[in-house]
Amino acid sequence: MANEAHPCPCDIGHRIEYGGLGHEVQVEHIKAYLTKSPVDAGKAVVVIQDIFGWQLPNTRYMADMIAGNGYTTIVPDFFVGQEPWHPSGDWSTFPEWLKTRNARKIDKEFDAVLKYLKQQCHAKRIGVVGFCWGGIAVHHVMMKYPELRAGVSVYGIIKDAEDVYSLKNPTLFIFAENDAVIPLEQVSLLTQKLKEHCKVEYQIKTFSGQTHGFVHRKREDCSPEDKPYIDEARRNLLEWLSKYV
């Protein structure tokens, strides 16, 4: 990691004030935030949290934005009741904290969520979107679940495995040029491996001048020069879902 003393700058950014359009539900052993689409088209998107957990207003805002485009969205608590990271936490303890929250060990929860979406929400086509920790989780599930029609991994990347290219369905990766967590060399390596081995559609897009968290943790009004990048990334995310889900 770029800086072991401060390994994840997800705290760079803003916690927005947002109440949400959805409601909380119980999905087997976990809680989740569910927003129904204004039109029931049989399409759903699982939205996977960052390190600040499933209740972060920013993530719920993104889920509601996606729902407004014709998808039932669900933000499950993939930490299964464990405390999310707190912005004022001691970053020297972060690596230990992260060991108990492995973004690649969520299959039990993911299975429960898929079952819920199919049985309770009548979803026939399902996609997945995730941010930071959730971006890693998206990378993982897109290599594991052929039934997912599309995935969008937003500043998340699997670093500790040789196989990062066995994607089952179309996946969009969104990165920030000035990301302290994901150096551009890692993005280049992923690009190379996907180019050599990947058999499905994929796209890797790096946004110049942006930092980790820019898509969901920067207020649009905080920096006028960032707004076009935030808008473009969100538009790309929605276009990818529209094309493949």
> Where in the sequence numbering do the catalytic residues fall?
132, 179, 212
The helix (run of H) or strand (run of E) holding residue 188 is: helix 184-197
> Which positions ≥6 away from 192 have C-beta within 8 Å?
none
Single-letter code of the amino acid located at 228: P
Give Cα separations from 91 to 54, 88, 152 (angstroms).
20, 8, 27
Residue whose structure tokens are 């729902």: 67
Non-local (6+) Cβ contacts of 200 within 8 A are 167, 168, 169, 170, 171
Helices (H) and strands (E) counted in the chain, each on its own, are 6, 8
The C-alpha atoms of residue 172 and residue 205 are separated, in whole angstroms, by 8
CA 209 to chain centre: 21
